[in-house]
Chain A
Amino acid sequence: MSGILFHNVRLIDPASGLDQNASLLVQGGVIADHGSALGRPDGAEVIDGEGAVLCPGLVDMRVEVGEPGGEYRENIPSAALAAAFGGITTVAALPDSKPAIDDPALVRLLRTRGEETGSLTVHPYGALTRGCRGEELAELGLLREAGAVAFTDGARAIGPAKLMRLALTYARMFSAVIVQHPEEPSLAAGGAATEGELATRLGLPGIPAAAEALMVARDIALARLTGGAVHFAHVSTAAALELIRRAKHEGLRITCDTAPPYFDLNETAIGNWRSYAKLSPPLRADADRQAVAAALADGTIDAVASDHQPRDPDDKRLPFAQAAPGGAGLATLLGITLAQVHNGTIPLPRALAMLTAAPARILGLSCGTLAKGAAADLTLFDPERAWRVTAGALPGRAQNTPFDGRALEGRVLGTWKAGRQVFGANA
């Protein structure tokens, strides 16, 4: 049987703590072996990594794939292109599509659409409530059986405390995590930017940073009451992170992620009415950005997700308050995260843990590891190689990056899905 021998690579497997210059052998689509003295089996292709990093294919736990209902902004094949460019081989797809993923048949559809790409595994989230309308629980049990990895209403916060309590109680039966968009809806309604001096100068309706901490505090109390598991998505404020830090210390089932804009950009990015930097939650004051970076380093933040939200130019070429929030993120997830390695905030293995093993663990997935026998989902990247982000020239349909023009160090050289190269020089 033929195979692929990666040699002269720095193998980093955060799941096992492995970090060494060695070789890795792929056979039959799975990782057959790795070590420093691997021979070349007959017929195996040899890839000389020239010292580049080989790690598990990235696991992105927060992606809007555009299907169903938003295909003109992004669809699963186009998202798969952007993902492969970004070294991502597994995504968790948000359910607040049109229609929402509140029926088992839709869960199966998205999984199949992912399989059809041959390059990207799509794990759908199930809608927590019917139509993601925040009223009554969706059929969590049947959605779970169909393959929903966790439950959320996507970009919509689970508002009523009673509903969140019910969801956490009911989901316990399936050991399922509830993913919250932590923003108190009554404080956030109508807001376009973080409340503060900049929003005041621009005359934009504000969303106080406290809207996030309020929801986080409430849900921590409900997790304590119910014994349920809450995951807070794209956490962006110091106050919320402090609450999460304490809840974890208490031993509650609380996890969280953040997205690259929240440790790389601050609210000044919306200056000059740049609607591509209009996100939800909004970009924050720099003190909050620094707190997010610190939480990457101290482990309060478990995972980094792209929070890929495809938007059409027509969604963005509007007066700022009317423009749709959301940024494209698949292509830049690794590069922006590596900036925190280059500036000394976090070591490289810690960065990769937040992009592989941690999201897989939170969602109960078997991917995100270089263990022998695991599917050969692999990313080869040169952490030093420079490139520039250019809106309009990104892979996939969505071009609404908030990082337009940004120079990055760290570029994916190749991506493999189950042993098949899906991105890179020879793909």
Chain B
Amino acid sequence: MAIHSRHLLAIEGLHPPQIAAMLDLAESYVLLSRTGTTPRDRLRGRTLINLFFEDSTRTRTSFELAGKRLGADVINMPVATSSVNKGETLLDTASTLNAMNCDLLVIRHASSGAPALLARKVDAAVINAGDGTHEHPTQALLDALTIRRRLGGLQGLVVAICGDILHSRVARSNIHLLSAMGSRVRVVGPPTLIPPEAERLGIEVFHDMKAGLAGADVVMALRLQQERMTGGLVPSTREYFRFFGLDAEKLAYAKPQALVMHPGPMNRGVEIASRVADDPDRSVIREQVEMGVAVRMAVLDMLAHAGIPGGPRP
């Protein structure tokens, strides 16, 4: 049952003590990062490979920085332009990487389940940095850390996740993590962007921002990919903004001091209004980025050593 302790492939299946342990360690790394006193010997001699099959700037940079702050040797493999395009399968790539004896493998891939497949074939600890529409565990951890630091905990909070739930790995990881930690999760979006049987994940589904945001402690806006429009799931950005764009009027339905979050990168004027995104009293979007580095330091640290503690005994 402690299958997730050697890798971090998903939030689903993690136990609350494991999540809490990662958040606690990350918390300490926030302070050390701010003072520039991170333990550079913690991952000395360890190799971290960033294997990004999908374009990413922020997440890749965040992992790179996290590894370097702990002293790891960080390699970025530009797989989008390498042997993968020459026809090499994912498992051939895995076998190649295995021969290089790396310790930590951070993977982002367009196919759900690709990190899990890789994890069965390599000796390194595998960290899922986003797989298809499945999960993005470190994003959920950094969101939880941001909320915990601001509001003091996660138990009993009402969190509204708004927008394209159907295609969002961020939403899925957040749903699992926040539910496990005792928050009440709602998703709000047009019916075309809510996955079938979503209620079965233990969440409440809304198609109306007014009802969905009522009494929320945290409002999380998700990115609406431009291709969703061409795919016909949403008629236009102006209609989307009218009904689901997080502006001051809709935010007013939530609790007076509700936090505003966004995993980035933002489409201003589509899923979020600039006035809300840039509101220093409400928006914690920049803080999320800072927490991202601390959370990834904690994850790398644990996986490079004993794994994630706190799982059930086998």
| Residues of A near any B CB (own CB < 8 A) | 130, 135-142, 163, 166, 169-170, 172-173, 226
Which of B19-27, B28-36, B155-163, B233-241 is the contact stretch? B233-241
Cβ contact of A137, chosen from B191, B232, B238, B242, cutoff 8 A: B232
Assembled-state Cα–Cα distance A128/B256 (Å): 38
B residues near A136, Cβ cutoff 8 Å: 232, 235
Cβ-defined contact, A173 with B236, below 8 A? no
Cβ-defined contact, A170 with B239, below 8 A? no
User: How many of B's residues come within 8 Å of A, CB to CB?
Assistant: 14
B215-247 interface with A by 8 A CB criterion: 232-236, 238-239, 242-243
A residues near B233, Cβ cutoff 8 Å: 166, 170
Cβ contact of B192, chosen from A135, A142, A169, cutoff 8 A: A169
Cβ-defined contact, A141 with B207, below 8 A? no
A residues near B191, Cβ cutoff 8 Å: 169-170, 172-173, 226
Assembled-state Cα–Cα distance A169/B232 (Å): 12
Cβ-defined contact, B239 with A166, below 8 A? no
Assembled-state Cα–Cα distance A136/B207 (Å): 21
CB distance from B239 to the nearest CB of A (A): 4
B residues near A141, Cβ cutoff 8 Å: 235, 239, 242-243
Cβ-defined contact, A166 with B207, below 8 A? no
Cβ contact of B242, chosen from A138, A142, A172, cutoff 8 A: A142
Assembled-state Cα–Cα distance A139/B233 (Å): 11
Nearest A residue to B196, CB-CB:
A225
B residues near A140, Cβ cutoff 8 Å: 235, 239
A-B residue pairs in contact (CB < 8 Å), sample of 29: A130-B235, A135-B232, A136-B232, A137-B234, A137-B235, A139-B236, A139-B238, A139-B239, A140-B235, A140-B239, A141-B235, A141-B239, A141-B243, A142-B238, A142-B242, A166-B192, A166-B233, A169-B191, A170-B191, A170-B192, A170-B233, A170-B235, A172-B191, A172-B207, A173-B190, A173-B191, A173-B207, A173-B243, A226-B191
Cβ-defined contact, B235 with A138, below 8 A? yes
Residues of A contacting B: mostly: helix
Assembled-state Cα–Cα distance A238/B207 (Å): 38
CB distance from A378 to the nearest CB of B (A): 38
Cβ-defined contact, A163 with B236, below 8 A? no
B94-111 interface with A by 8 A CB criterion: none
Cβ-defined contact, B190 with A170, below 8 A? yes
With contacts A139-B239, A141-B239, A141-B242 taken as known, whether A163 is within 8 angstroms of B232 at the C-beta atoms is: yes
Nearest A residue to B230, CB-CB:
A136
Assembled-state Cα–Cα distance A135/B234 (Å): 13
CB distance from B271 to the nearest CB of A (A): 15
Assembled-state Cα–Cα distance A318/B207 (Å): 50
Nearest B residue to A170, CB-CB:
B192
CB distance from A23 to the nearest CB of B (A): 46
Nearest B residue to A169, CB-CB:
B191
A residues near B236, Cβ cutoff 8 Å: 139
Assembled-state Cα–Cα distance A169/B235 (Å): 13
Closest CB pairs A-B (n = 10):
A139-B239, A173-B207, A139-B235, A137-B235, A169-B191, A136-B232, A170-B192, A141-B239, A169-B192, A172-B191
Assembled-state Cα–Cα distance A137/B235 (Å): 5
CB distance from A95 to the nearest CB of B (A): 14
CB distance from B25 to the nearest CB of A (A): 43
A residues near B242, Cβ cutoff 8 Å: 141-142
Cβ-defined contact, B238 with A166, below 8 A? no
B130-146 interface with A by 8 A CB criterion: none
Cβ-defined contact, A142 with B232, below 8 A? no
Chain B window 186-227, contacts with chain A (Cβ cutoff 8 Å), 1 for yes, 0 for no: 000011100000000000000110000000000000000000
Scoring B191, B208, B243 by chain A CB atoms within 10 A of each residue's CB, the highest score goes to: B191
A residues near B208, Cβ cutoff 8 Å: 173
A residues near B232, Cβ cutoff 8 Å: 135-137, 163, 166
